[in-house]
Amino acid sequence: MAYKALYRTYRPLTFEEVVGQDHIVRTLKNALKENKIAHAYLFAGPRGTGKTSMAKLLAKALNCEEGVGHQCNECSNCIAINEVSHPDVIEIDAASNNGVDEVRDLIDRVKYLPIKGRYKVYIIDEVHMMTSGAFNALLRTLEEPPAHVIFILATTEPHKILPTILSRCQRYDFNKVSDVDIKRRLIYVLDKEQITYEEDAIDMITSLADGGMRDALSILDQLLAYSGRTLRAKDVLDVFALTSKEEKIKLLNYILDGDVENTLSLTRSFIEHGNDIKKLLLDLLDILKDVYTYQVTEDKTLLLTLNESEVNALSHFADEEDLLKMSEILLNASTSLRNVSNARSLLEISLLKLTSMHKKTLKTVAKADENEEKVIKEEPKIVEKTIIKKEEPVPTPMKKEEPAKEKALDEPLLLFNEEELVADTNLYPDDEKYVLNEETIINAMIKGDKELKKSIISKWDKLTPYLASPTLGKYASLLKDARPYIATKELLILEYDLDIVADKVNLKNNQKTIANLVEKITNKHFFVHALTRMQTIADVKKFRDLSQLGKLKKADEVTIDLKEIK
């Protein structure tokens, strides 16, 4: 028997099993009880919050043989709906059936009476994908459908639906499922599957799901394929390239100590191990929020991320005003991520701002200890001027070092032929990109050499001298923002957080220069290709699915033909 995903296995079969949408369940149950059934419903809300599941439950409650409002799951109607084989419950994906012709065909079939149940129920998913012409064709039928027809429209983007359609539907807004409800459901599933687990692992899955119950079960499914019958926090960290709470607290301690070197070193270690930059910023924000909350209230029951001993340890280093300033810097960084091409640099600069802030604080404290009375009497402006005057001589030695720095940069720049670079940029149209098919990526995962990848990662900082080059700087910047993901003797796959950056790497015009630059720092020639984090997660899932089914090739059976890359 084929494996059934957890989110399908544990799809709610009755209203009572629905997680986190009590306001909608109560309204629908009361409407069914009073026989106040609308002819059209709109279910709107974030993905994975139960819109399609609720639509099927409503269809079941309308057609159950025990009567309207019941969901016995034993009668022929309930069983057929559960098995997605009921002739009167029609699911339509508007993403692929969004034209006028498809809607007209639907309208032609609406007039026929139900074959098996009381009502014909049309569930139109992703309805916002329909064209304006299709909406207009549906409008008249949606306004006055036959008495035996119910329309249920589901969407994640209700603002894209025509107002004339919205006004003819009863609208139900689905909320993100609370962390408490997701955690409770995950524990229920793990107990039913007889799998042992660590509570920290469940908390991490809950955080990753971001209010989506389906996402939580999909993540759990992927982790169980990796870890087997025991779910550990370490497995979540490994599979999703996350950072443990202890490591994040360690990073904050370095920041609060004003330790620039260790702050940068630990941050770069996180990035090289594939950590999601936005997730890291938001996790640091959660920790600072806990510290601030505890400082203001001293109520440990309000802590969401830290325990009492952890929050006490951090509270000694920063006051309330500092914590708010730090939170503002991190929040600005997380909102700026979508607008920058170099997410790594944005993260490092933001953390350096925090470190610099505390470095100044520590200097001021040290000065106060040395001459307490003088500091108290002096105005803050005078203290700042004194500090600036002490630092004024610093630019002088830097000027002396400048010629040496230029000389160091000149050497790598001479390794490239300018004319060759210009020729490359005229070979293809500006938007023509290389694309790796799924089979090639899976083959690369099979052939991947971990030692070679480690060697490449260790040499990645050699790109730094090239950043200042007027010719090669933009290519070096693109590479610097990458995480080496898979390395074979002929292919290097890089991972990026942003689509826009990965697309630039894959432009055919950029390939030769990027490959040459990688060769200069690694002494090996590769075809270089970029994937986004979302692509690599999908590829890992495919790889594990093939492995589970025993359909994965052996390494000696696999060849990677670069000629097939188009």
Q: How far is CA 388 from CA 260, 360, 365, 391, 392, in A?
A: 19, 11, 16, 5, 6
Pairing of strands 40-44, 170-173: parallel
223 vs 202: CA distance, rounded Å: 11
Looking at the structure, give the CATH architecture of the domain made up of residues 179-239: Orthogonal Bundle (1.10)
Q: Extract the tokens encoding 320.
A: 């309330």
Mean pLDDT of 325-332: 87
31 vs 43: CA distance, rounded Å: 16
The pLDDT tens digits for 499-534 are 778 888 888 888 888 998 899 899 989 999 999 888
Q: Extract the tokens encoding 90.
A: 């029609």
* In CATH, 245-298+312-374 is 1.20.272.10: yes
The structural domains of the chain, with segments of one domain joined by +, span 6-173, 179-239, 245-298+312-374, 424-564
CA-nearest of 172, 124, 164 to 143 is: 164
pLDDT > 90? residue 249: no
486 vs 558: CA distance, rounded Å: 15
* In CATH, 424-564 is 3.30.300.180: yes
Q: Is the dihedral of CA 272, 273, 277, 282 positive or negative?
A: negative
Mapping DSSP to helix (H, G, I), strand (E, B) and coil, where does residue 121 land?
Answer: strand
Q: What is the pLDDT of residue 393?
A: 45
The pLDDT tens digits for 330-345 are 888 888 887 777 888 8
Q: Which residue has the higher pLDDT, 209 or 87?
A: 87
The pLDDT tens digits for 3-37 are 778 888 888 999 998 988 899 999 999 999 988 89
247 vs 267: CA distance, rounded Å: 10
The pLDDT tens digits for 52-80 are 999 999 999 999 998 888 999 999 999 99
Q: What is the pLDDT of residue 427?
A: 55
**Residue 447 — very low, low, confident or very high, per pLDDT cuts 50/70/90?**
confident
Give per-residue burial for 33-43: e unless 16+ CB within 10 Å, then b.
eeeebebbbbb
The pLDDT tens digits for 89-98 are 988 888 777 6
**Residue 84 — very low, low, confident or very high, per pLDDT cuts 50/70/90?**
confident
pLDDT > 80? residue 383: no
Mean confidence (pLDDT) of the chain: 80
**Residue 395 — very low, low, confident or very high, per pLDDT cuts 50/70/90?**
very low
Q: What is the pLDDT of residue 358?
A: 65
Q: What is the pLDDT of residue 357?
A: 77
In 3-115, beta strands by DSSP E = 40-44, 89-93
The pLDDT tens digits for 260-308 are 888 888 888 888 877 778 888 888 888 888 888 888 888 877 877 787 7
CA-nearest of 135, 140, 136, 103 to 122 is: 103
436 vs 168: CA distance, rounded Å: 46
348 vs 327: CA distance, rounded Å: 15
Q: What is the pLDDT of residue 451?
A: 87
Q: Which residue has the higher pLDDT, 28 or 162?
A: 28
Q: Extract the tokens encoding 417.
A: 């032929």
CATH superfamily of 6-173: P-loop containing nucleotide triphosphate hydrolases (3.40.50.300)
pLDDT > 60? residue 152: yes
pTM, rounded to two decimals = 0.53
pLDDT > 90? residue 235: no
Residues 6+ apart with CB under 8 A from 254: 262, 263, 266, 355
235 vs 79: CA distance, rounded Å: 37
